[in-house]
Amino acid sequence: MGGGALAGKRAVVTGASSGIGRAIALAYAEAGAEAVMITYRGNADGAHAVVAELTRLGATASAHQLDLADPTGPGRLADEAKRRLGGVDAWVNNAGADILTGAWAKRSREEKLAYVLDIDVTGTALASWAALELMREQAAGGVILNVSWDHVTAGMAGENPMVYAAAKGAVLSFSKSLAREVAPTVRVNVLAPGFIETAFGEQAKTAWREHVERITPLGRWGTPEDVAHAAVYLASDAAAFLTGQTVMVNGGVVM
């Protein structure tokens, strides 16, 4: 690989068969990462398409099935990363539960809450600890990025926002405590996207889409690439003095 902000680095990005995870994985390869491992839960075709793109960009790439409902999954993923890559310099915990689209959108709030807490909170914690075990073995340490949500600091009315805030607020708090625990060997930061053009945004009604544009100071929905640019920076040496911080990629909706 040539130069770039992540030249020579090895990365793991969970939940990268589409959307924000896909954008982060590709941005890492474009920034010079020498190897990018991605995970998917059910979208194998999407994951393999991402691997093909990563390979075209010059990165060593592979896709691995990971269901965060299985508590043994993160540990097995870390073992595979060590076997294939020898270690990991940046680990992005992007995988999360979708309660806004598909079958889960019709479940009860109690079912949604249990599901999101299991996947987003427990899954993120277990994956962070698995990544940490790898990085502590490395002289250069590493970077863990966890994905939260911008509105956990401001609140949003509604059943789904309340459920989502319970989980993503926990991810934010956990990440701050983890950052204090593992410094200075490992840096831990948080990405907090706002309204991003993923599956939810694409299927939103026109009136809601226009409402989001009106309340966003920068006047538009964000893109997965907007989040990916921040993820590249936080994983790079340019962010070497940042830990325990939250970067809100949201056009200024929450400040």
> What are the catalytic residues?
164
Rounded CA-CA distance 79/212 in Å is: 42
> 92 pairs with which residues across the strands?
13, 145
Rounded CA-CA distance 14/63 in Å is: 10
| Closest to 232 in 3D by CA, of 66, 13, 43, 77 | 13
List the structure tokens of 125. Answer: 């914690």
| Closest to 66 in 3D by CA, of 129, 117, 144, 124 | 124
Amino acid identity at 172: L
Residue 242 to residues 65, 117, 131, 148, 247, Cα–Cα distance (Å): 31, 27, 18, 17, 11
Q: Which are the contacts of 46, defined by CB distance < 8 A and separation ≥ 6? A: 17, 18, 22, 40
Q: Check if the beta carbon of residue 144 is closer than 8 Å to that of residue 187.
A: yes
Establish how many alpha carbons lie within 13 A of residue 97's alpha carbon, considering only the half-sphere containing its beta carbon. 29
